[in-house]
């Protein structure tokens, strides 16, 4: 592939979350503090805020974000519980897959421009953001005003990279979010199938099992 730029997905492609906070665990905590918030309704409100409201409201912290989730549920959560929930969220650590940093370093040496496109708020990966910024620009839903797979979030990344779609490849682990729309925009696509059967993703231009394998295709 004769390309000048790469747009990466975050989770499942570059990193994974270690010890993430589950909806069941969060619901159990709230119930133990006297709030009748069960897993399904919590999940619905959480996802609504993260995918619909966050791109517009641009929450700066998990505490601010979760306060809005509680408001959506019409729950008057007190400051002590809000702080406890926030502290529990802070235990999550984002970890790079073993081959990722070595691969990013090589891509940087080759002079390729790189961008990260993610629907995840910055506060959720603030622990690794400084490392990512050494290699790429970061475009989240709050910068683009929308979430993946809306084409605008990819076009915003291309605008920052100052590249056209045909000069760029989209690399991700989810066909619907990372491959389908970039392909329609004219980008090349590489699907990272760490845990999936490659035959299920024939529409991607290339399927790899880990990020390092993309080096063989990006000369």
Peptide bond connecting 83 to the previous residue in cis, omega within 30 degrees of 0: no
Task: Answer yes or no: are the C-beta atoms of 154 and 170 closer than 8 Å.
Answer: yes
178-182 CB contacts, 8 Å cutoff, 24+ apart: 178/9, 178/13, 178/148, 178/149, 179/203, 179/204, 180/149, 181/148, 181/149, 181/150, 181/151, 181/154, 182/7, 182/154
Q: What is the mean pLDDT of residues 82-96?
A: 94
Task: Answer yes or no: are the C-beta atoms of 37 and 75 closer than 8 Å.
Answer: yes
User: CA–CA separation, 113 vs 128, rounded Å?
Assistant: 19
Provide the pLDDT confidence category of residue 12 given band limits of 50, 70 and 90: very high
User: CA–CA separation, 83 vs 215, rounded Å?
Assistant: 44
13-41 pLDDT, tens per residue? 999 999 999 999 999 999 999 999 999 99
Give the architecture (CATH level 2) of 21-89. Orthogonal Bundle (1.10)
Task: Answer yes or no: are the C-beta atoms of 171 and 117 closer than 8 Å.
Answer: no
198-218 pLDDT, tens per residue? 555 568 999 999 999 999 988
Percent of the chain with pLDDT over 90: 92
> pLDDT value at position 84?
94
- CB 109: neighbour CB atoms within 10 A? 8
- Nearest Cα to Cα of residue 153 among 178, 172, 189, 174: 178
**How many Cα atoms within 13 Å fall on the side-chain side of residue 125?**
26
Write the DSSP symbol of residue 21.
P
Domain chopping of the chain, boundaries: 5-17+94-216, 21-89
Percent of the chain with pLDDT over 70: 96
Q: Note the pTM of the prediction, 2 decimals.
A: 0.93
142-192 pLDDT, tens per residue? 999 999 999 999 999 999 999 999 999 999 999 999 999 999 999 999 999
Residue 69 clears pLDDT 70, i.e. is over it: yes
Provide the pLDDT confidence category of residue 195 given band limits of 50, 70 and 90: confident
What is the dotted CATH code of the domain comprising 5-17+94-216?
3.40.50.1000
> pLDDT value at position 211?
96
Q: What is the mean pLDDT of residues 128-152?
A: 97
In 3-state terms, the chain is what percent helix, strand and coil (to 5)? 50, 15, 35
The pLDDT mean for the chain works out to: 94
């Amino acid at each position: 592939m004769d390309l000048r730029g790469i747009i990466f997905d975050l989770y499942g492609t570059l990193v994974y979350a270690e010890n993430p906070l589950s909806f069941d665990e969060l619901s159990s905590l709230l119930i133990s503090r006297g709030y009748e918030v069960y897993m399904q309704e919590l999940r619905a409100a959480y996802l609504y805020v993260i995918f619909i409201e966050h791109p517009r409201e641009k929450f700066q912290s998990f505490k601010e974000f979760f306060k809005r989730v509680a408001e959506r549920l019409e729950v008057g959560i007190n400051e002590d519980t809000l702080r406890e929930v926030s502290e529990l969220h802070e235990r999550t650590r984002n970890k790079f897959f073993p081959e990722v940093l070595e691969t990013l370093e090589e891509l940087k040496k080759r002079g390729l421009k790189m961008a990260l496109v993610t629907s995840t708020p910055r506060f959720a990966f603030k622990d690794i953001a400084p490392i990512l910024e050494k290699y790429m620009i970061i475009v989240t839903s709050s910068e683009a005003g929308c979430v993946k797979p809306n084409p605008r979030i990819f076009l915003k990344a291309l605008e920052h990279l100052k590249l056209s779609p045909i000069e760029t490849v989209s690399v991700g682990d989810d066909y619907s979010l990372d491959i389908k729309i970039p392909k329609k925009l004219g980008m090349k696509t590489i699907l990272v199938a760490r845990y999936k059967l490659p035959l299920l993703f024939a529409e991607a231009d290339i399927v790899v099992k880990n990020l390092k394998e993309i080096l063989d295709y990006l000369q």
